[in-house]
Amino acid sequence: MAIPRGEFRALSWATQFLAYKRPTWKCASCRTTRLSRTLATSATGKESRKPYYVTTPIFYVNAAPHVGHLYSMIVADILKRWQVLLGNEDAQFLTGTDEHGMKIQQAALAAGMDTQAFCDMNCKTFQDLAKAANLNNDHFIRTTDPEHKEAVQYFWEMLQHRGHIYTAKHEGWYCVSDETFYPQSQVQLSLDPSTGRKRMVSIETGKEVEWSSETNYHFRLSAFRDRLLELYSKGTFMKPTSYMTEIVKSVSSGLSDLSISRPVERLNWGIRVPGDETQTIYVWLDALINYLTKAGYPFPPGQEGKFGWPADVHVVGKDIVRFHCVYWPAFLMALDLPLPRNVLVHGHWTMNHEKMSKSTGNVVNPFFAIDRFGVDTMRFFLAYQGSLSGDADYDNSYIVRDYKKHLQSGLGNLAHRAIGCAKGNLRSHIVDAALDQLPKATASDTKHQALLEELPLKVAESMESLNSRNALQQIMDMIDKTNKYFHAAEPWKTPSESQRVLYNVCESLRIGAILLQPFIPSKSKELLETLRVDISDPAKCRFSAAKYGFDADYGQGVKKHILFHPLIAED
Q: In whole angstroms, give the CA distance from residue 461 to residue 455.
A: 10
Strands (E), 111-196: 139-142, 165-175, 180-182, 187-191
The model's pLDDT over 481-516, given as tens digits with 9 standing for 90+, comes to 999 999 999 999 988 788 999 999 999 999 999 999
Per cent of the chain over pLDDT 70 is 88
**pLDDT at residue 35 is higher than 80:** no
Picking from 123, 122, 139, the residue whose alpha carbon sits closest to that of residue 51 is 139
**pLDDT at residue 371 is higher than 50:** yes
Question: In this structure, are residues 543 and 460 in contact, taking their beta carbons and an 8 Å threshold?
Answer: yes
pLDDT given at position 36: 40
* 208: DSSP letter: B
- The end-to-end CA distance of the chain, in Å, is 66
Q: In whole angstroms, give the CA distance from residue 202 to residue 185.
A: 9
- What's the Cα-to-Cα distance from 416 to each of 119, 409, 449, 534, 556, rounded to whole Å? 48, 10, 21, 20, 16
Best mean pLDDT range from 26-35, 72-81, 421-430: 72-81
The model's pLDDT over 280-311, given as tens digits with 9 standing for 90+, comes to 999 999 999 999 999 999 999 888 888 999 99
Q: In whole angstroms, give the CA distance from residue 76 to residue 65.
A: 16
**pLDDT at residue 24 is higher than 50:** no
User: Residues 161-176: what's their mean pLDDT?
Assistant: 85
3-state helix, strand, coil in the chain (%, to 5): 50, 15, 35
Q: In whole angstroms, give the CA distance from residue 133 to residue 378.
A: 8
pLDDT given at position 361: 66
Query: Domains (ranges, CATH) in the chain?
Result: 53-393 (3.40.50.620), 395-545 (1.10.730.10)
* 357: DSSP letter: B
**pLDDT at residue 41 is higher than 60:** no
3-class secondary-structure state, position 465: coil
Picking from 449, 442, 459, 480, the residue whose alpha carbon sits closest to that of residue 548 is 449
**pLDDT at residue 315 is higher than 70:** yes
**pLDDT at residue 33 is higher than 90:** no
pLDDT given at position 77: 98
User: Residues 370-394: what's their mean pLDDT?
Assistant: 96
> How many residues are present in the chain?
571
- What's the Cα-to-Cα distance from 541 to each of 30, 38, 87, 448, 536, rounded to whole Å? 19, 16, 10, 22, 9
pTM comes to 0.86
**pLDDT at residue 431 is higher than 50:** yes
The model's pLDDT over 123-159, given as tens digits with 9 standing for 90+, comes to 999 999 999 999 999 999 999 999 999 999 999 999 9
- Bridge-partner residues for 280, per DSSP? 262, 272
User: Residues 443-458: what's their mean pLDDT?
Assistant: 98
The model's pLDDT over 521-542, given as tens digits with 9 standing for 90+, comes to 999 999 999 999 999 999 999 9
Residue 226: φ, ψ to 5°: -65, -40
- Bridge-partner residues for 141, per DSSP? 96
Question: In this structure, are residues 411 and 530 in contact, taking their beta carbons and an 8 Å threshold?
Answer: no
Per cent of the chain over pLDDT 90 is 75
The model's pLDDT over 188-222, given as tens digits with 9 standing for 90+, comes to 888 777 677 878 888 777 778 887 778 899 999 99
The model's pLDDT over 51-90, given as tens digits with 9 standing for 90+, comes to 999 999 999 999 899 999 999 999 999 999 999 999 999 9
pLDDT given at position 22: 35
User: Residues 425-449: what's their mean pLDDT?
Assistant: 94
User: Residues 345-359: what's their mean pLDDT?
Assistant: 82
Positive or negative, the CA dihedral 122, 123, 126, 130 is negative
pLDDT given at position 503: 96
* 325: DSSP letter: I
**pLDDT at residue 472 is higher than 50:** yes
